[in-house]
Amino acid sequence: MATNNQPVALMIIDMQRGMSDPAAGERNNPDAEINIQRLLTEWRNAGWPVVHVRHISRTPGSPFWPGQSGAEFQPALAPLAYEHVVEKNVPCAFTQSGLERWFHVRGIKRLVIVGVSTSNSVEATARTAGNLGFNSQVVADATFTFAKQDYSGVYRSADEVHAMSLANLEGEYAAIGITEEVLTSIKG
């Protein structure tokens, strides 16, 4: 997706083994990994930039603690040797990671963001990307999140949490799209 000779980076956020563990809780978008894989394949075939973001916890005992299997990338979405990997220990991939500079050095101003969790790292990263002036798109069916209680104690399904996160982002920080739209736009 390099329009007007402007590279577009695919950012894959926190697609680690720990995110696919049933202990993570009720989630939405069971086909998110398939959609991420489809996008990743297109980006690789075109030779466009791919950034893999991995959460490394600072909490001992976390499935994302260094050296734990939960911190490893899911095998189907693992980075290739030449793809950029960013490790973070807070939700936002830009915080103390050098990622903003990495994009600027390469002239990358457009981002397609996928991964997990919509209501945490995806939203935090997309908000910061928008605030930093990047033209970003979050792919709704290539992201997912988990059910949780809201501040009032009301149970919210993963679909509800996902929809609210996308609503928080849409228009102000990022455009929201789906995999088929992204694939059509890059092939057209």
How far apart, in whole angstroms, are the C-alpha atoms of residue 170 and residue 164? 10
Can you tell me the mean pLDDT for 80-101? 96
What is the model's pLDDT at position 4?
54
Check pLDDT > 60 for residue 1. no
**What pLDDT is stored for residue 188 in this prediction?**
60
158-169 vs 123-131: helix crossing angle, rounded to 10 = 0
Question: Which pLDDT score, from 0 to 100, does residue 119 have?
Answer: 97
Average pLDDT over residues 75-91: 97
Q: Would you call 27 exposed, middle or buried from its count of C-beta atoms within 10 A (0-12, 13-18, 19+)?
A: buried
Phi and psi at residue 46, in whole multiples of 5°?
-85, -10
